[in-house]
Chains A and B, each alone.
Chain A
Amino acid sequence: YIHIINKADMAASKGLKILVGCKRVIDYAVKVRVKPDRSGVVTEGVKHSMNPFDEIAVEEAVRMKEKKLAGEAVAISVGPPQSQETLRTALAMGIDRAIHVEIPLAQLEKLQPIHVSKLLAKVCESEKPDLVILGKQAIDDDCNQTGQMLAALLDWPQATFASKIEPSQDSKQLRVTREVDGGMETIDVSVPAVVTSDLRLNEPRYATLPNIMKAKKKPLAKMSPDQLGVDLQPRQEVISVEDPPVRKAGAKVESVEDLVGKLREKGLVK
Chain B
Amino acid sequence: SKQTMLSSSRAALVAAAAKLPRLVTRYGYCTTAAGERQQQKPLSPKITTHPTRNDRAKDPRWKDIDMTRAVDEADVVIVGGGPAGLSAACRLAQLNAEKGTEMRIVVLEKASSVGAHIMSGACLDPKGLVELFPDWQERGAPLHTPVTGDKFYMLTEKRAIPLPLLPGMPMHNHGNYIVRLGNVVAWLGEQAESLGVEVYPGVAAAEVLYTEDGSAVKGVATNDVGIAKDGSPKDSFERGMEFHCKQLIIAEGTHGHLAKHLINRYDLRAGREPQTYGIGFKELWELSEDRWRPGYVEHGVGWPLDSGTYGGYFIYHLNEGSPLAAVGFVVGLDYSNPYLSPFREFQQFKHHPHVAAALTGGKRIGYGARALNEGGVQSLPKLTFPGGCLVGCTAGMINVPKVKGTHNAMKSGSLAAEAVHEAIGSGEIEPATYEEALRNSWVYKELHSVRNIRPSFHLLNGRLGMFGGMAYTGAVWYFTRGREPWTFSHGGTDHEKLLPAKDCKPKDYPKPDNVLSFDLLSSVALTSTNHDHDQPPHLTLYDDSVPGQVNLSVYDGPEQRFCPAGVYEYVELDDGSKRLQINAQNCIHCKTCDIKDPTQNINWVTPQGGEGPAYNGM
Contacts and interface: CB of A to CB of B under 8 A. Distances in A.
A31 B182 CA distance: 18
Interface in A21-63: 27-31, 33, 36, 44-47, 49
A28 B616 CA distance: 15
Interface stretch (B234-242, B423-431, B435-443): B234-242
B203 A47 contact: no
B238 A205 contact: yes
A45 B238 contact: no
Contact of A206 (B183, B200, B238, B530): B238
B220 to A, nearest CB: 12
A212 B182 CA distance: 24
Interface string B63-78: 0000000101000000
A27 B614 CA distance: 9
B528 interface: yes
A236 interface: no
B112 interface: yes
A27 B70 contact: no
Interface string A194-210: 00000000011110111
B551 to A, nearest CB: 29
B585 to A, nearest CB: 9
A213 to B, nearest CB: 8
A185 to B, nearest CB: 26
A183 B389 CA distance: 59
Interface in B518-554: 525-526, 528-530
A212 B200 contact: yes
Contacts of B283: none
A45 B183 contact: yes
Contacts of B322: 36
Q: Interface residues of B toward A: which range?
A: 20 to 34
A206 B365 contact: no
A92 to B, nearest CB: 10
A31 B203 contact: no
B236 A206 contact: yes
Residue of B182, B236, B286, B365 with most partner-chain A CB within 10 A: B236
A45 B617 contact: yes
Nearest to A27: B614
Contacts of B433: none
A206 B528 CA distance: 20
A192 to B, nearest CB: 30
B388 to A, nearest CB: 20
B241 A33 contact: no
Contacts of A47: 112-113, 116, 528, 614, 616
Contact of A210 (B236, B241, B608, B616): B241
Given A30-B528, A205-B238, A208-B225, A45 B616 contact: yes
B236 A29 contact: no
B200 A31 contact: no
A212 B199 CA distance: 12
Interface string B184-212: 00000000000000001001000000000
A27 B528 contact: yes
Interface residues of A, number: 21
Contacts of A27: 112, 528, 530, 614
B553 to A, nearest CB: 32
A212 B202 CA distance: 11
Nearest to A206: B225
B226 interface: yes
Nearest to A205: B236
B222 interface: yes
Nearest to B115: A45
Interface in A120-154: none
Contacts of A49: 112
A225 to B, nearest CB: 28
A209 B112 contact: no
Given A27-B528, A29-B528, A29-B530, A209 B241 contact: yes
A33 B365 contact: yes
Interface string B578-618: 00000000000000000000000000000010000010110
Contacts of B240: 208-209
A27 B528 CA distance: 9
A210 B70 contact: yes
Contacts of A205: 226, 236, 238
Interface string B240-278: 110000000000000000000000000000000000000
B286 A29 contact: no
Nearest to B527: A31
A176 B170 CA distance: 69
Contacts of A45: 182-183, 616-617
Contacts of B238: 205-206, 208
Contacts of B617: 45
A46 B616 contact: yes
A29 B70 contact: no
Contacts of B526: 31
Nearest to B235: A203
Nearest to A216: B198
Contacts of B530: 27-29
Contacts of B222: 209
B68 to A, nearest CB: 12
Contacts of B182: 45
Contacts of A29: 528-530, 614
A192 B234 CA distance: 34
Interface string B456-485: 000000000000000000000000000000
A205 B286 CA distance: 39
B209 to A, nearest CB: 15
A28 B241 CA distance: 28
A206 B226 contact: yes
Contacts of B72: 210, 213
A58 to B, nearest CB: 13
A195 to B, nearest CB: 22
Contacts of A212: 200
Residue of A30, A36, A46, A209 with most partner-chain B CB within 10 A: A209
A33 to B, nearest CB: 6
A31 B528 contact: yes
Contacts of B241: 208-210
Nearest to A204: B236
Contacts of B616: 44-47
Nearest to A210: B70
Contacts of A208: 225, 238, 240-241
Interface string B300-337: 00000000000000000000001000000000000000
A147 B222 CA distance: 38
A212 B238 CA distance: 13
A36 B322 CA distance: 10
B70 A30 contact: no
B286 A36 contact: yes
A27 B613 CA distance: 12
B271 to A, nearest CB: 39
Interface in A155-175: none
Complex A-B, nearest 8 residue pairs according to Cβ-Cβ distance, in ascending order: A29-B530, A47-B614, A206-B225, A30-B528, A45-B616, A210-B70, A205-B236, A208-B238
Interface of A: 27-31, 33, 36, 44-47, 49, 203-206, 208-210, 212-213
14 contacts: A27-B530, A28-B530, A31-B525, A45-B182, A45-B616, A47-B113, A47-B116, A203-B235, A204-B236, A206-B238, A208-B240, A208-B241, A209-B241, A212-B200
Given A47-B116, A206-B238, 17 more contacts: A27-B528, A29-B530, A31-B528, A36-B286, A36-B322, A44-B616, A45-B616, A46-B616, A47-B112, A47-B113, A47-B528, A47-B616, A203-B235, A205-B226, A206-B225, A209-B240, A210-B241
Interface of B: 70, 72, 112-113, 116, 182-183, 200, 203, 222, 225-226, 234-236, 238, 240-241, 286, 322, 365, 525-526, 528-530, 608, 614, 616-617
